[in-house]
Amino acid sequence: MSQYSELSHVELEHLHRELMRRYEDWKGRGLSLDMSRGKPAGDQFDLISGMLDTLDSKSSLKSADGSDCRNYGDFDGIPECKALFCEMLGVSFDELFVCGNSSLSIMYDAIGKMILHGVRKGAAPWCRLDKVKFLCPSPGYDRHFAITERYGFELIPIEMTAEGPDMDQVERLVASDESIKGIWCVPKYSNPQGITYSDETVRRFARMKTAAKDFMIMWDNAYAVHDLYPGDRDQVLNILDECKKAGDPDRVMIFASTSKISYAGAGVAAFACSADNMQRMKKLMSIQTIGFDKINMLRHARYFGNLDGIMTHMDRQAQLLRPKFKTVLDAFERRLAGKGIAEWVNPKGGYFISLDVMDGCAKRVVGLCKSAGVVLTSAGATFPYGIDPRDRNIRVAPTYPTVPELEQAVALLCLCTELAAVEKLLLKK
């Protein structure tokens, strides 16, 4: 297979005509698929329908500590649900708080608290500062970036490497600039590349010197148990333990939820942090709520029992997801490999596949797909301010469509990737 950049102008024109003919053919097929967000599919929910039967009008609604889940109480969550998250995140009871249905809303709220009150001991509220900057490993999760953009922070993109964010760049920036107050991280099966941070990366996060005394690592472990291959699970070093060893346990807040384990938007979310930060968070939170939905916590705790119960369920979920990831990755291999027009990462878990098309082509590819009936995440969405400086990254969300739908969508995506690359090369030659 020759690299497209080696083709002559005439060969490229010929290829362009052929690709265009195939594209027009696709347009005539009336496809209508939305692959813009990483949503679970219905069969994933079918796997867990038993959870709804764990409680009925005859069930005891007392939690393990005897409190009535129908009433106020257990402000930081019922013990059996706290135990689930403590086991998942490797933290202790006094370091964990179970909230409502969404980890993203906890992150939004935590940043708000840092702005209004300061969360770390002695931290000045960031609203008093002229400038707050935040590091954004990119490609990354668009909604993280949107939170800090909405609050008016200056967002600084950080390159991703195979081991996580480029730590040379991170260390250099945070050591010299006091207005850099934090960083967004998805440490396991990152959104969208599926990269898991290496032990060395985690240790460097814990040990790095920060000019800001109130620097905060927003450690969103959204895909902590979302392994595609039960025999080959990635492990992330425990960031809170590493921060304790390095002498600054207050620099991290950890987040997780069951949105991609049980019900998206109707699961349970939690955060963890040092006991000191937790005390401060509890004081602030006690004004905003008397407590979260303990009946849903109870449902989750009774259904899963413990982390083993979650892992068994996630392994069943992986059986549904593996063929979908394989469909996309096989198509990339078959249709794009060796042409010098695209690169991708084979993730071992998580919810996404990240495709880098030829520089300057992502918007065009997404636009071409849309005109032929397949909606992808907007090009640029995986970067701060929605601007991908190389206009090359496309986030593919393979979980929601069926395998036959994915086969069609990815065939079209590959065709559009080729078409946009050939258009670009024709302009150069």
Ligand X SMILES: Cc1ncc(COP(=O)(O)O)c(C=O)c1O
Residue numbers of the site for ligand X (CB under 6 A)?
38, 102-104, 141, 186, 191, 220, 222, 257, 259, 265, 269
Q: What is the DSSP string of 251-269?
A: GEEEEEESTTTS-TTSS-E
Q: Which is nearer to ligand X, 269 or 272 (CB)?
A: 269
Task: Report the nearest approach of ligand X to the CB of residue 38 (Å).
Answer: 5
Label residue 171 exposed, middle or buried (CB < 10 Å: 0-12, 13-18, 19+): middle
Structure tokens at 417: 């990737």
Structure tokens at 40: 């679970």
Q: Which is nearer to ligand X, 152 or 265 (CB)?
A: 265
Task: Report the nearest approach of ligand X to the CB of residue 304 (Å).
Answer: 16
Q: Is the dihedral of CA 392, 395, 401, 404 positive or negative?
A: positive
In angstroms, how far is CA 311 from the centroid of its own chain?
19
Structure tokens at 365: 């590819």
Q: Which is nearer to ligand X, 186 or 416 (CB)?
A: 186
Q: Which is nearer to ligand X, 15 or 314 (CB)?
A: 314
Cα separations in angstroms, 369 against 26, 28, 307, 318, 364: 10, 13, 41, 28, 9
Q: Measured over all CA atoms, what is the biggest interatomic distance in the chain, rounded to whole angstroms?
A: 78
**Residues in Cβ contact with 384 at an 8 Å cutoff, skipping those fewer than 6 apart:** 136, 138, 145, 149, 155, 156, 157
Task: Report the nearest approach of ligand X to the CB of residue 261 (Å).
Answer: 10
Structure tokens at 347: 């993730």
Hey, is 344 helix, strand or coil?
A: strand
Structure tokens at 24: 């027009």
Structure tokens at 4: 């497209």
Task: Report the nearest approach of ligand X to the CB of residue 191 (Å).
Answer: 4
Task: Report the nearest approach of ligand X to the CB of residue 265 (Å).
Answer: 6
Task: Report the nearest approach of ligand X to the CB of residue 29 (Å).
Answer: 29
Task: Report the nearest approach of ligand X to the CB of residue 259 (Å).
Answer: 3
Task: Report the nearest approach of ligand X to the CB of residue 71 (Å).
Answer: 25
Residues paired with 62 in a beta bridge: 68
Please give the Cα distance from 251 to 249 (Å, whole number).
6
Q: Which is nearer to ligand X, 296 or 417 (CB)?
A: 296
Q: Which is nearer to ligand X, 91 or 99 (CB)?
A: 99
Q: Which is nearer to ligand X, 212 or 256 (CB)?
A: 256
Please give the Cα distance from 397 to 404 (Å, whole number).
15
Residue found by looking up tokens 């701060």 in the block: 384
Task: Report the nearest approach of ligand X to the CB of residue 74 (Å).
Answer: 20
Residue found by looking up tokens 């898991």 in the block: 196
Identify the CA nearest to 240 among candidates 206, 266, 269, 270.
Answer: 206
